[in-house]
Structure 1
Amino acid sequence: MKTLLPVLLGTCLLAACHQGPKKNKDGTLTINGVTFRDLNKNGQLDIYEDKRQPLEQRVGDVLRQMTLEEKAGMLFINGTKVNADGTLDDKPDGSPMPVPAAVKLMDEKKMNHFNLWQIPAGPKEMATWYNNVQQHAAATRLGIPVTIASDPRNHFSNNIFAMQATRFSQWCEPLGLAAIGDPEVTRTFANASRQEYLAVGIREALHPQADLATEPRWPRISGTFGEDAQLAAKLTAAYIRGYQGDTLNAQSVACMTKHFSGGGPQKEGLDPHFEFQKGQVYPGHNFNYHLIPFEAAFNAHTAAIMPYYGVPMDQTNENVGFAYNKAIITGMLREKYHFDGVVCTDWGLITDLKMGDVTWPARAWGVEKLNTAERVKKLLDAGVDQFGGENLPEVVVQLVKSKQVSEARIDSSVRRLLRQKFELGLFDNPFVDVDNAATMIGNADFQQAGEASQRKAITLLKNDEKKLPLPSGKLHIYIKNIDAKVAAQYGIVVEKPADADIAIIRLNTPWYPVNSPNAFARMFHHGDLDFKGKQKDSILQLLHTTPTIVDIYLDRPAVIPEINAAAKGLLADFGASDAAVLDVIFGKANPGGKLPIELPSSMEAVRQQKEDVPYDSKNPLYKFGAGLSY
């Protein structure tokens, strides 16, 4: 007995050190002073609930417990709405395209990925809504947390792809970051945006846009880093590291880099959101050039990839959209680049959308004749993990039950999606500090840095007779498309050009709506890049009457040879306030940008250039990299 005593005592001590879980009033478990979430409410500490366990074991444990319906729900991400008061009720929001409340999709479709468009709530209410969503998720069978995603919200822009930035810090657009050309500025931007996103629970960025702007008519150029692949690659990597850090963690925002393998070379610039698109074309045999920024994204460990709608014409064994194309998703993305992150389709590849009396066809380019289930199967066979803009888990369930798709195939995608949630720390603590949201969103330091970027990106292209910078406070100025109250801080504002010492006019790159019944299509900045008719005549009349400084917002490369010739000074901005532009004109800030896109000299030159080749228009008005300083 003497010899057994130490052994018995040791066994007792070991048992004391490994007490069973104590269930707390809030539903958590405490073991040896450490608190864990009891996500499946069974009173035991499961492997997936234990933050001390290896990542892959946690993923495997929750995957083992999921039903087929729960797995299918995880494969879908779609828009939801935020109530102004932060509640979860399914209140009408007055949207022309109303979306269901998150809880409805969670309960009925087992979904736990959502993206946000307009947010009517303030930061505190947004954070409250987010916490309420996560509380609802915690009450589901396995307590799988929700991932909230968003398009960009931190750019001074009227672009339809830049979500409301009025409460978030407002920086120049990505094209402006390219004009600045400094990876550290880009990383600083991304880090500030990351902190604002985190404060309200946005954990996935549906950006950056690593496409190259080699086709000047394409409507999505403002979201790119320009047309030079090496510059775009440097900035894409910096951007991702600013959001994610070196590895994905609880302080990261996961990046979904888009649009693989480069959405820029659209034939005639017609965007494949719409049925009038004509495919992506490569007359310069330059397909691989468009991969360079994505290779940088892989090196920076982007968490996710989004293919575009476009059809890479005659580049693979079938002319179908990128997400439907197995040669692109499995052959190139998975096998060539060994990418094992999440691949999510762009929004709306499977089902048509009714908008009043107008039907917006699904972006099922090349597979239009397939039915809904056949489209879902083809996307899965191609290798995608998640379906954007769709609520169709029942289709996946039926495909598995009918043995058209194996459950093992579904498991491979669910595993990737679960892994991302674990890496982001959502299983351990998905909640945010509501009070912190109010102070973090648009805080003074971020706003100041954002405003500085607007000024630094402004690119001075012409300074005739070195008129710029103008002397502040002394001149009589005539203004057009500028707030008079802002302009009054720089000079004496007059009502007639004849009374002015100098005129200052702000312009936007021209665009011409497509002839389409689809209102969303008519909002895209398609068409020619030059001013025409009365609009052009009125601008030139002013320039020929009064010495004029012209600032033009470039969301695409404008064709402005006559305006350039008549202007005393020409500046380009990439998302900037009136104050930012006037600060540069009056010398309170120096223009620091270099053109990240060339400005063609004519529409004929635009039509003759190759969609997939950078800076190749004949005799450009301003070459890529142009930019003066004071």
Structure 2
Amino acid sequence: MKKIFKISGIVLAVVLFLLILTGFIGYGRMSSKAKGNYAKLGEKAPELTIDGVKFRDLNKNGKLDVYEDSRLPVEERVNDLVAQMSLEEKAGSMFITMIGMTPEGNPIDKPFFSSNPLDFMMATMMPSSSEMLINKKMNSFNILHAHEANILARYNNNVQLIGERTRLGIPITIASDPRHGSEHNPGAALSTPTFSQWPTSLGLAATRDTLLVREFGNIARQEYLATGIRLALHPMADLATEPRWGRSNGTFGEDAELSAMMTKAYVLGFQGDSLGAHSVACMTKHFSGGGPQEKGEDAHFPYGKNQVYPGDNFDYHLIPFEKGAFPAKTAQIMPYYGIPVDQTDENVAFAFNKTIITTMLREQYGFEGVICTDWNIINGTAVGDARAWGVEDLSPLERTKKVIDAGCDQFGGESSPELIIELVDSGQLTEARIDESVKRIMRDKFKLGLFDDPYINEDEANQVAGKEAFRELGRLAQAQSTVLLKNDNLLPLKKGTKIYAEGVIDSEVFGTLGEIVSNPMEADVILKRIGTPYDERDAYFLESYFHQGRLYYSDEEKKEILDLISQKPSIVVVNLDRAAILTDISEASGALLADFGLSDEVLNQLLFGELSPEGKLPFELPSSWEAVENQHEDVPYDSKNPLYEFGYGLTYQPEVVSMN
């Protein structure tokens, strides 16, 4: 037996040694490759002074080219630049994907020690930063990290310097999903504590306040600018007409007119009245409306590929674009993954669908901006197959051609410019067609002022992002968005009320105006915070982040809630990332509130009347699962006998409107 253990130990040691050796060899190769890539770069752009005005000599030729001259019209600069670009540079510009940064704000080119799983994923499952920036000649990227503001700013400056040192000095466009809420979902939203914290889009819609939404956009714009983010991969103009849909929380609810108002205000807040150096460009999504998912299943996953219209209500989902995104002059548009079943001449997903992209978006609506696909519709990755719904049988090369033929300009989540080069070299696409898309992409860079100065002040980033005045407005918006669904003369509470709290993050907060007790039987009231129910799933990458399936609480979940709140007068606060079936909980509670991103601090002030809940439901709350199953995916507020109707919301007058 001892001999067996000894042999096993030797084998284990050899295996461990080989793994370590393999790791060192791989690390060395990656380091060497990155060093070789950076050696291909030229010098920084020299500065030219002409008539007392300073310019950047981006192509380092010692003279002022048209595209380098900030005094000239944008179209002249775009045409001059594209005429100088090689096919490889054009192809690289037509891709935008995720890119990583170290905690110090440097590009990731090789693995490094980190406790953050995102760092490991970006270092091992994605092409290196130098590979994409230098070899693939890409110049648009989506960042996922949520570091401090000065680190995000430093990263911007580091990658902009790399862009400056390329042949033509094309600047980098840094993009991001929403960052101003508490949700963290790498496929949809990124919690970033360094920024001010606001309610979700559902919460913004619950306020019914377009001035507030525009002010949010203006504040978010300033925080993005301070950290180098120049492209917002939002808002979502989709409609949550299907209550089971896992992305309802990113929308402005199920009413098209309300969504249009909110979308317009949101885009104007980020972009201003016109796109300029002061702006953050918006990529509004998902044309032509990504909400009516069959049985609510999301199109990120194969089982959710179909969008269905049993109510023949396709046109209703266009209203937020017609009356919101387009009048606000959104810079860019993203179509969704789904297949609009039987709505066009072929059942293929939106980005592959020429009727949707060219006939409708380009011709009918006259949209001239960038159209970028949703992520990973061409190639599979280490974590899943391509979301090429309706064209699964096509090769990546054929899919790429079909997307471009449909009328799209840029590929999200992809880094395969070699496919476009092959299509042009083989005569399947003309370079003139590629030029059309590249001009749109470069036009936004010029309008945003990136060619003139893409750098930002790292020291000022922390002073702007998350400053107290912004956070204060975010907290007030949280209160304003909260919906009071029921109140049996329980709220507001009297100062000193004894509270037993469950489901809160910081129970001590409630001791500032009341008294916290550790036993429900010692309490005057019970406070219970709960979330929206859902089916737990993890068969596909990202699936665990998307709350889908049931809207009812399981027997076990419901018993736990009801057993607690039946002991004393109770206040239930439910965070709604989708509609929830609250019938039994509503009946048993003394007060019921719905929140869309509400800190314990603000909740405390709401409970004691220092602030008042003012929100109105952005969607109806169904009374039963049967009603949910019988409603139409594409039709708003159509479940039978809803518990609370769209637009419902009570209120009470606050004693003092103050955050102090």
Query: Which consecutive residues of structure 2, in runs of 5 or more, have no partner in the other structure?
Result: 1-42, 653-660
Deviation at 1:157, TM superposition (A): 2.9
> Is 1:210 aligned to 2:249, yes or no?
no
C-alpha separation between the residues in 2 aligned to 1:159 and 1:491?
34
> Is 1:309 aligned to 2:331, yes or no?
no
Could you tell me which of 433, 444, 450 is aligned with 2:457?
433
Could you tell me which of 248, 251, 264 is aligned with 1:221?
248
Q: Quick check: 2:45–2:169 contact (8 Å CA) kept in 1?
A: no
C-alpha separation between the residues in 1 aligned to 2:509 and 2:44?
57
Partner deviation per Cα, 1:48-102 (whole Å, 9 max, x = no partner):
0011111111100000000000000000000001211122352426435323443
C-alpha separation between the residues in 1 aligned to 2:238 and 2:614?
24
Aligned counterpart, 1:539:
561
Secondary structure of the corresponding residue to residue 300 of structure 1: coil
Aligned counterpart, 2:58:
39
C-alpha separation between the residues in 1 aligned to 2:185 and 2:609?
28
Deviation at 1:104, TM superposition (A): 2.6
Could you tell me which of 357, 374, 389 is aligned with 1:329?
357
Could you tell me which of 512, 521, 528 is aligned with 2:543?
521
Q: Quick check: 2:45–2:60 contact (8 Å CA) kept in 1?
A: no
Partner deviation per Cα, 1:557-578 (whole Å, 9 max, x = no partner):
1101000001000000001111
Could you tell me which of 168, 176, 190 is aligned with 1:163?
190
C-alpha separation between the residues in 1 aligned to 2:526 and 2:565?
8
Could you tell me which of 69, 80, 85 is aligned with 1:61?
80
Could you tell me which of 533, 538, 555 is aligned with 1:510?
533
C-alpha separation between the residues in 2 aligned to 1:502 and 1:89?
52
| Distance change >3 Å, CA 381–CA 533, structure 1 → 2 | same
> Is 1:579 aligned to 2:601, yes or no?
yes
Letter in structure 2 aligned against 1:337: Y
Aligned counterpart, 1:84:
103
Aligned counterpart, 2:425:
401
Q: Quick check: 1:83–1:91 contact (8 Å CA) kept in 2?
A: no
Secondary structure of the corresponding residue to residue 299 of structure 1: coil
Letter in structure 1 aligned against 2:101: V
Secondary structure of the corresponding residue to residue 197 of structure 1: helix
Letter in structure 2 aligned against 1:77: I
C-alpha separation between the residues in 2 aligned to 1:501 and 1:169?
34
Partner deviation per Cα, 1:188-224 (whole Å, 9 max, x = no partner):
0000000000001100000000000000000111111
Letter in structure 2 aligned against 1:259: H
Letter in structure 2 aligned against 1:302: T
| Distance change >3 Å, CA 551–CA 535, structure 1 → 2 | same
| Distance change >3 Å, CA 25–CA 313, structure 1 → 2 | closer
Secondary structure of the corresponding residue to residue 102 of structure 2: coil
Secondary structure of the corresponding residue to residue 347 of structure 2: coil
Q: Quick check: 2:241–2:292 contact (8 Å CA) kept in 1?
A: yes
C-alpha separation between the residues in 2 aligned to 1:500 and 1:128?
50
C-alpha separation between the residues in 1 aligned to 2:539 and 2:289?
28
5 Å-filtered alignment, 1:122-141, equals 122-141=148-167
Partner deviation per Cα, 1:272-302 (whole Å, 9 max, x = no partner):
1011115000011110000000112111100
5 Å-filtered alignment, 1:61-460, equals 61-88=80-107, 90-92=109-111, 94-95=117-118, 97-98=121-122, 99-119=126-146, 121-159=147-185, 161-295=188-322, 296-355=324-383, 360-460=384-484
Secondary structure of the corresponding residue to residue 581 of structure 2: coil
Letter in structure 1 aligned against 2:439: R
C-alpha separation between the residues in 1 aligned to 2:497 and 2:164?
63
Q: Quick check: 1:156–1:577 contact (8 Å CA) kept in 2?
A: no
TM-score w.r.t. structure 2 length? Answer: 0.89
Q: Quick check: 2:44–2:164 contact (8 Å CA) kept in 1?
A: no
C-alpha separation between the residues in 2 aligned to 1:529 and 1:330?
37
| Distance change >3 Å, CA 278–CA 607, structure 1 → 2 | farther
C-alpha separation between the residues in 2 aligned to 1:543 and 1:512?
24
Letter in structure 2 aligned against 1:162: A
Aligned counterpart, 1:604:
626
Q: Quick check: 1:513–1:524 contact (8 Å CA) kept in 2?
A: no
| Distance change >3 Å, CA 467–CA 196, structure 1 → 2 | same
Partner deviation per Cα, 1:368-415 (whole Å, 9 max, x = no partner):
000010000000010000000000001100000000011111000001
C-alpha separation between the residues in 1 aligned to 2:97 and 2:234?
16
Q: Quick check: 1:240–1:302 contact (8 Å CA) kept in 2?
A: yes
Secondary structure of the corresponding residue to residue 610 of structure 2: coil
Aligned length: 599
Deviation at 1:159, TM superposition (A): 5.0
C-alpha separation between the residues in 1 aligned to 2:218 and 2:470?
10
Secondary structure of the corresponding residue to residue 148 of structure 1: strand
| Distance change >3 Å, CA 62–CA 25, structure 1 → 2 | closer
C-alpha separation between the residues in 1 aligned to 2:539 and 2:349?
23
Letter in structure 2 aligned against 1:156: S
Deviation at 1:136, TM superposition (A): 1.1
Q: Quick check: 2:586–2:592 contact (8 Å CA) kept in 1?
A: yes
C-alpha separation between the residues in 1 aligned to 2:309 and 2:393?
26
Q: Quick check: 2:552–2:625 contact (8 Å CA) kept in 1?
A: yes
Q: Quick check: 1:373–1:395 contact (8 Å CA) kept in 2?
A: yes
C-alpha separation between the residues in 2 aligned to 1:317 and 1:107?
41
Letter in structure 2 aligned against 1:332: M
C-alpha separation between the residues in 2 aligned to 1:407 and 1:455?
53
Secondary structure of the corresponding residue to residue 326 of structure 2: helix
Deviation at 1:158, TM superposition (A): 4.5
Letter in structure 2 aligned against 1:484: S
Task: Among all aligned residue pairs of Structure 1 and Structure 2, give the percentage whose two residues are the same amino acid.
Answer: 54
